[in-house]
Structure 1
Amino acid sequence: MINIKRLFCVASISYIIGIIMRLYFGSIAFLSIPIAIIILLITKNKKIIVILICLIISIGYVSILENKYSKISDMPIKEMVTIISDIQEKEYKKVCTAKIVRNNKKILINIKMSQDIPSIKYGDSLYIEGEFKQPEEARNYKGYNYKQYLKTKKIIGTVELEKAKILKSSNGSFIHNIQKYIKDTINGTLTDEEGNLLLAILLGDKDKLSEDIQESFKTSNLSHMLAVSGAHVSYIILGLTYVLQNSIIGKKNGKIVCMIFLLIFMAITNFTPSVTRACITAILTLFSSIIYRKSDVYTNISVAALITLIFNPYSLLDLGFQLSYGGTIGIIIFIKRIQEKKSNSKVINYIKQMALVSIYANIIIIPIMMYHFNTVSFTFIISNIMASPILGIIVITGFLFIIASITVKPLTRLIAIFIKPILSILIKISQICSKLPFSNILVVTPYMFNVISYYAIILYCIKSRKNNKCKIIICLLIVLILINFIIYIFPQKLRIFFIDVGQGDSTLIITPDKKTVLIDGGGSDSFDVGEKVLLPYLLDRRILKIDYVLISHFDTDHCGGILTIMEKVKVKNIIISEQAEHSENYERFKKLMIHKKIRLIEVKKGDKIKIGRYSEFKILFPTSRLLSENPLNNNSIVAQFNYNNFKMLFTGDIEKLAEQQILKTEKAEIRADILKVAHHGSKTSSIPEFIKAVRPKIALIGVGKNNTFGHPNQQTIKNLENIKCRIYRTDLQGEIIIKIDQKGRMNVKSKLKIK
């Protein structure tokens, strides 16, 4: 007979494996269903039956959902909807979530600030007209996948609102009114910084919490405090139990009240995965004590996971889900070791327990942090020991503050006087710990097989009782290191990655002998492309050191990202040309170069730079006589990258004048297999004579989607089409990946397919 306690563990693990199979192996996973059904009909093993049923259900369920999402397309929309979120004000627009009345599907509505739209609020029924758009997928390798993120929220897409008419106004639901009351009470009593932090701690609502505070909590490894988790729920139960245990309702009824409160609390926090996990496990524990049964923590956490994933399988991709369950599993696995390490001193005992809880939770979540954030912290023990007792005080006092606002409102002022300095202390701890050495070490994204191997070794350590366990683990680690070394030294083709950095240019080259070259880095005045796009991209490509950076010129859309990379990543050499005029970007570059002790290579026409054994840059422009007309663009470096018989021409932002100058002296030299089209395909560049002289097989255009500059110009496209070259654009196809073998044969792929 199968153990009922382990039944839910087996079921949840099988269900999760089925989701992963369908999401990452597509239709191949779906084809495994008939095989599973055949085995199901043959076997009598109950555990195998449970595994196969859960696999079939999860693969089938996700297949149905994926099929539904695949049928969604951009189109005009006219629907009746109900607003199911508060209206959030962003920089240029207002955003809210709505549910379509006709099919119950959720959409995200974008409202321009300039639009004359009636004032809408939570619960209102509307008739809307607008343009429905599919969410963006990742535009670069392992880039941010907005579509995947919205799936974790069960949102099918966005609507750019054009018209809206209120059909029925609403006063909101019971739960929403509680949320609103809590927010209004806290914001009306505390300052913005303290009030928004308290809302994040109590409800997990980080919408108005400043980016600086969120970043300091993240860097100091205290992000879990801003996502309601087991610690928060335990403090809630502790507070309620203390109040109710001496009341007239009795212990049993007190536990039932706790369970009801936790259900309401889940709804108030919008059923986020971390809250759902913590509350369901707490409810099951309370229920077990009511019916006088021993609670099994593995069963409780398995049931919580199953409920969450049955409701929405894409919750598995939610970072909060992964960190919440990962950290909890780490603590559960090593709980006996935590309980064994006891001391006579209560203070020492507390410090030991807090340190061990942090260590054991991080044993499981470190690979998750490395994979998603590319960071490792070695100061998490210090930050958690300092902050954990304060969190307990804040949670309990915060809920007393809310209760007082309902029962004895004048008391809230007194509680606010007490809680304000505690919130300030917590902010200060996060800021101090975020600046400690080794608090935020950058690491490359680990290979998935390394992550799996890591967890396999952890599992072996826990389960194995062999005396020679240490020797076996060392052998496994050596094998893992050797596999990674073989992957690194394994010969590869020349690889060129034309990165989608929006309205800008950036190209990464990795040569067969592992030399890394970065040509330009994109940039924007309103968005940190280096921090948000380029740095994560390089770390995802497992690059922490760049051998050569070439900055074509110092326009922000070419050098902005590079300046961030210079601060964060080891750069050995930087190639620039003489500057016709000095800009703010150039001055900042010089300071960074001196501070980071980077070798500067200043080039002009005729120079050659050897890149490893197989490749070189040949500089074709500018000459020693710089052009005075639009000097920043027209004196861009024009460089030919050569690898055996393969040639690629980089042209920066040169315009007609510079192209004519190059044709006079270098017409026979500028022939190339690939052309990085000048100035994003602007009408001021790419004259027919220049295009014909280059005669590229492939043209690459770095350009932002729906940009306001009209790039690329249709005449430029026509000039390229006239010579029958293949055109690739980052606005339509995202990142372009090109692999070249020793004979110069090219294989080209794009991240997105043109629809």
Structure 2
Amino acid sequence: MTSRSPLLWAPFFLGGGIITGWYSGCWRTAIFLLIVIGLVLFLGGWRFQRRKGTGLVFCLLLGVILGGTEAMLHLRYRAVLDDHYGQLVEVAGTVLETPAPWREGLRFVFRVEALSGADLTVRPKVEVFLPVPGTYHYGQRLALKGRLFGAEQHAGSEWVRERITGGLLVQGLPTVCGRGKVPGVGRLVNAVQQKIIAVGEATLPPQAATILHGMLLGRREPGLSALTFERVGVAHLLSVSGLHLTFWLSLFWGLGKAFRLPDRVLAILAVPAVVLFLLVAGGGAPALRAGIMGLLALFGDLMQRRTQRPLHLAVAAMIIMLLRPLEVFAFGFWLSLAACVGLLVVYPRWEQSFAAYPWFVKGRPFFLSLAAQLMVAPLIAKVYGGFSLVAPLANLLLVPLAGFAVQIGLVAALAGMAYLPLARLLNAGNAVIIEGFWQLTVFLASWPGYLRFPPWPWLTVGASYGVIFLLTWGLTVNPVTKKRRLPLFHALLVLLLVVLAVTGYYLVQDLTPCLELVFFDVGQGDAVLISVPGDYHLLVDGGETGAYAQEIRPYLQAQGIRALDLVVVTHAHEDHLGGVVRLLEDGRIEVAQILESGYAHTTRLYERFLALVLERGIPLRQGVEGTTLQVGGLKGMVLHPPVTAWTGTDLNNNSLVLLLDWHGVRILLMGDVEAQGEGRLLAVYGDGLRANLLKVGHHGSATGTGRAWLEKVQPELGVISVGAGNPFGHPEPTVLSRLEEAGVKVYRTDQRGRLTFRIRPGRRGGPAQIQVRSEVRK
């Protein structure tokens, strides 16, 4: 195999086929079309030799079959549960993973084998959320009762990639029904994982144990702040990958050398060590990629054959897509491949060009880190809307510390399985290393080196990679003439043109400022995201608990929003507060401050909310009549509830009511205020309630939105956030009639899905321009 091998192109053809097969819905039709295309290309001539071209077409067709099969399996599993979403169900089945912490309880993947007392032939998987603590383990058979949730997911979501068809919020305690049918290897691996976790928890402080298990097993516990890792560019330490395999193998090799084992014997023994690494790490895409490349390298050493690392990467990508086809939609999959391209393709070119310079030789570790970070930067800019300038330095400092911590932690875990006091001795020093690692991470995260901006369009991402490869290859050979290296002047000229193009794109965006309101389709609940020019973001309510993972987090991630300047909780009912609690538990989105009414509620959800706010150290303000707020150029004021005691006794009529103003466009958000609260607002503010856009109170229930209210507000647009087919009959037909009589154009999330309003100020004093777009989840 050479560098010109078509194998380098095969992953792109296979991945393209998988994407085509998934979106085509019917793989037979797609196969027929692709066969026709393949024959045309084959008969019409191919850039490669015909045999090689045929192999690439075969990869394309195989990908279509895999993608189409995954699409059909997804629909088949969902069909079992489609009629039960939103309902209380009784299920029985088997736990398929080691339970992880969630709130005060646990969460785990569960195979449903019986539904409402009837055995299933098609057995879908769900993720179980258990609010109460307990001791459960892999392979245990349980009977559960709870509410099933989970709207349609896109191909890149974690649930779809893992063939999980929904979530189950458990009510009451599970009933243990014995042992389910799971592979014996799975039981063994699960037992090892649990033992490693138990040793860590018994011998390390809680925070140190959480960090170690995150780096050692990729385990994301609630107390682990992934955002801090992302801000300094070391989030890959929490995703078990090639770096972690290096930690394992260096420890293994060091122990082997201590016993004076020959290199060939160590290479043979390293094969089961890599397999064990894959099993314990859980078999995620980055771990699989690292393991496969490690095995290929070991095989080459044993056979005394020189192999090329780029080909190892191509083979690893192919095997991952064959085993887990939908990983082609996963951001982590592409990040892992991009980092490897930086290390295996870009850096060798740099070394070839600058190896004669002393400054490069001395700074090799830094430039190695820089190559990897440079290749992942455009993808991070696309997904997260920002990247860290301190990432190369942070990796240079933090990766060695993480390596020491993981290696000592692994030795301590293995020792603790036989003799726990020895593990305590080892982890006593490891705790110091982990604490130093964490303090250094927090220190680097406080540096002003993290750039935030709107997510890059794919065109900019592609152009960035084009410039990187042009400049990299241009250091040794002109990529056009193939004769001599690219002149520095031309390289800098290309770089300048790209910088001007990107800068021009963002200048155009800044010169046309737009306020954007997104009313999420969260079912029977409220969740509104308001984005203000200048990269400011305000979230008002978060829908029910499941709304965050289903709607809010995917949208924030797609838009590159990593921080919220303000979160407003209008009141503490679950259909408004649940998603906010999940946002705080997740920890991936930074929250600057929270505004709530302060009207106490006695539910465990509200208690959890207060505990998380205290734990995260987030400023909590009480919003009462007259409280002002400003997020960027958006100004607002709280109209309700009043400072003095309010005669209302229910949470709905004590909701926060916000009046927002942006360049003369007024937006009134009513929470769940009903007629009683409306009466007070009319008496206090009268004509001051005038608004262009009204978020109708309490999902359009009959208890509010009276005629007198609409006469004073006089909205042109109205939004009703409501769940389709809800049992409350919202929105009430009489309310819809009143809105129609008042000349209000009404938009409903149950009919239109996610609603996006883009508001631009009028030119030369003219009326504002309001564009509305709806997006129904498929």
Q: Which TM-score tier does this pair reach, normalised by the shorter chain? A: 0.7 to 0.9
Q: Which residue of 1 aligns with 2:157?
A: 148
Q: Give the equivalent residue in structure 2 for 1:178.
A: 192
Q: 1:495 to 1:160 in 2, by over 3 A?
A: closer
Provide the rounded CA distance (Å) in 2 between the counterparts of 1:352 and 1:250: 32
Q: Which residue of 2 aligns with 1:609?
A: none
Q: Which residue of 2 aligns with 1:405?
A: 416
In 2, Cα distance between equivalents of 1:516 and 1:406: 50
Whole-Å separation in 2 of the counterparts to 1:630 and 1:362: 56
Question: 1:332 and 1:303 mapped to 2: Cα distance?
Answer: 14
Greater shift in the superposed pair: 71-80 or 466-475: 71-80
Aligned residues: 693
Q: State the match for 2:50 in structure 1.
A: 45
Q: Which residue of 1 aligns with 2:7?
A: 8
Once residues 773 and 684 of structure 2 are traced to their aligned partners in structure 1, the CA distance between those partners, rounded to angstroms, is 34
Tell me by how many angstroms 1:496 deviates: 6.2
Give the structure 2 partner of residue 678 of structure 1: 697
Question: What pairs with 1:338-737 in structure 2 (closer than 5 Å)?
Answer: 338=351, 352-406=363-417, 410-438=421-449, 440-464=450-474, 465=478, 466-467=486-487, 468-479=490-501, 481-482=503-504, 497-499=518-520, 503-504=525-526, 506=528, 508=530, 521-523=539-541, 584-586=621-623, 650=668, 652=670, 656=675, 675-688=694-707, 690=709, 699-702=718-721, 712=730, 714=732, 717=735, 719-720=737-738, 723=741, 727-730=746-749, 734-737=753-756
Secondary structure of the 1:173 match is helix
3-state SS of 2:433 partner: helix
Please point out which of 322, 342, 349 is paired with 1:310: 322
Provide closer, same or farther for how the CA distance between residues 250 and 713 of structure 1 changes in structure 2, counting only shifts above 3 A: same
AA matched with 2:492: C
Residue type matched to 1:235 in 2?
F
Structure 1 window deviating more from structure 2 (350-359 vs 167-176): it is 167-176
Aligned partner of 1:474: which letter?
A: L
Cα gap change, 1:186/1:485 in structure 2, threshold over 3 Å: closer, same or farther? closer
The 3-state SS of whatever aligns with 1:82 is strand
- Hey, what's the Cα distance between the residues in 1 that align with 2:561 and 2:283? 38
**What is residue 67 of structure 1 aligned with on the other side?**
72
Q: Distance in 2 between matches of 1:194 and 1:35?
A: 58
1:15 partner amino acid: L
Query: Alpha-carbon deviation of 1:258?
Result: 0.3
Distance 2:770 2:261 in 1: 77
Alignment equivalent of 2:138, drawn from 97, 122, 134: 122
Letter in 1 for 2:83: M
Deviation at 1:182, TM superposition (A): 1.8
Counterpart Cα distance in 1 of 2:227 and 2:566: 31
Aligned counterpart for 2:347 among listed residues 328, 332, 335: 335
The AA in structure 2 aligned to 1:49 is: T
Match 1:206 to one of 216, 220, 225: 220
Q: Contact 2:721–2:748 at 8 Å: present in 1 too?
A: yes
Judge conservation of contact 1:554–1:585 (CA < 8 Å) in 2.
no
- Say which SS state the counterpart of residue 72 (structure 2) adopts: helix
Larger deviation, residues 653-662 vs 176-185: 653-662
Number of the residue aligned with 1:141 = none
Going from structure 1 to structure 2, the CA distance change for 1:672 and 1:60 (only over 3 Å counts) comes to: farther
SS across alignment from 2:622? helix
Q: Distance in 1 between matches of 2:74 and 2:344?
A: 37
Gaps of 5+ in 2: 114-119, 479-485, 593-619
Residue 649 of structure 1: how far off its partner (Å): 7.1
Alignment partner of 1:381: what SS? helix
**One-letter identity of the residue aligned with 1:272:** G
Shift of residue 291 of structure 1? 0.7
**Which amino acid is the alignment partner of residue 398 of structure 2?**
A
Change (3 A) 1:105 1:49: farther
Query: CA contact under 8 A between 1:554 and 1:586: conserved in structure 2?
Result: no
Change (3 A) 1:424 1:284: same
1:108 aligned onto 2:119? no
* Distance apart, 1:413 and its partner CA: 3.5
Alignment CA distance shift 1:284-1:277 (3 Å): same
Question: What amino acid maps onto 1:229 in structure 2?
Answer: S
For residues 609-642 of structure 1, give each alpha carbon's deviation from its aligned partner in whole angstroms, at most 9, with x where no partner exists.
xxxxxxxxxxxx99xxx99876997995778999
Counterpart Cα distance in 1 of 2:123 and 2:294: 31
Of 246, 249, 267 in structure 2, the residue corresponding to residue 255 of structure 1 is 267
Partner of residue 618, structure 1: none
Structure 2 distance, partners of 1:22, 1:698, is 41
CA contact (8 A) 1:509 1:516 kept: yes
- Alpha-carbon deviations, 1:161-194, whole Å to 9, x = none? 5775614378972222222222222222222222
Deviation at 1:152, TM superposition (A): 2.4
Which one of 52, 59, 72 corresponds to residue 54 of structure 1?
A: 59
Cα deviation per residue 1:181-221 (whole Å; 9 max; x = unaligned)? 2222222222222222222222222336x234x33322222
Counterpart of 1:310, as a letter, is L
The residue identity in structure 1 corresponding to 2:126 is: L
SS of aligned partner of 1:86:
coil
User: Equivalent residue of 1:271, what SS?
Assistant: coil
What is the CA deviation profile of residues 265-302 of structure 1, one whole-angstrom value per residue up to 9, with x for unaligned ones?
A: 10111101121111211111010011111021011111
**1 CA distance for matches of 2:590 and 2:566?**
17
Name the amino acid aligned to 2:366. A
- The 1:714/1:215 distance shift into structure 2, 3 A limit, reads same
Sequence identity percentage = 17
CA offsets 1:522-568 (integer angstroms, 9 cap, x no match): 1479999999998996896689999xx9999987999999xx9xx99
1:187-198 aligned at under 5 Å gives the runs: 187-198=201-212
**Residue 255 of structure 1: how far off its partner (Å):** 1.0
Asked if residue 750 in structure 1 is aligned to residue 774 in structure 2, the reply is yes
1:712-755 CA-to-partner distances (Å, cap 9, x unmatched) read 563664545875977533467542135799999998543225x9
Give 1:60's aligned amino acid.
I
Is 2:307 the counterpart of 1:301? no
- Provide closer, same or farther for how the CA distance between residues 462 and 64 of structure 1 changes in structure 2, counting only shifts above 3 A: same
- Equivalent residue letter for 1:151: V
**Alpha carbons of 1:23 and 1:8: their partners in 2 closer, same or farther (altered >3 Å)?**
same
How far residue 447 of structure 1 moved from its aligned partner, in angstroms, is: 1.2
Closer/same/farther in 2, CA of residues 419 and 340 from structure 1, 3 Å limit: farther
Give the conservation status (yes or no) of the 8 Å contact 1:341–1:352. no
Cα pair 1:640 1:670 within 8 Å, conserved: no
1:616 equivalent in structure 2: none
What SS class does the counterpart of residue 139 from structure 2 fall into? coil
Structure 2 length-normalised TM: 0.72
Separation in structure 1 between the aligned mates of residue 307 and residue 656 of structure 2, nearest angstrom: 73
Amino acid corresponding to residue 218 of structure 2 in structure 1: G
Cross-structure match for 1:617: none
* Distance in 2 of aligned mates of 1:542 and 1:428: 26
Q: Report the alpha carbon displacement of residue 684 of structure 1 after superposing the two structures with TM.
A: 4.0
d(CA) in 2 for partners of 1:588 and 1:635?
Answer: 9
Q: Are residue 238 (structure 1) and residue 250 (structure 2) matched?
A: yes
Partner of 1:607: none
State which of 95, 102, 110 in structure 2 corresponds to 1:98.
110
Q: Is the 8 A contact 2:384 2:561 kept in 1?
A: no
1:366-409 CA-to-partner distances (Å, cap 9, x unmatched) read 12222333332122233222223222322332333234335666
Go from structure 1 to structure 2 and tell me whether the alpha carbon gap of 1:351 and 1:104 turns closer, same or farther (over 3 Å shift): farther
Query: Is 38-47 or 19-28 further displaced after alignment?
Result: 19-28
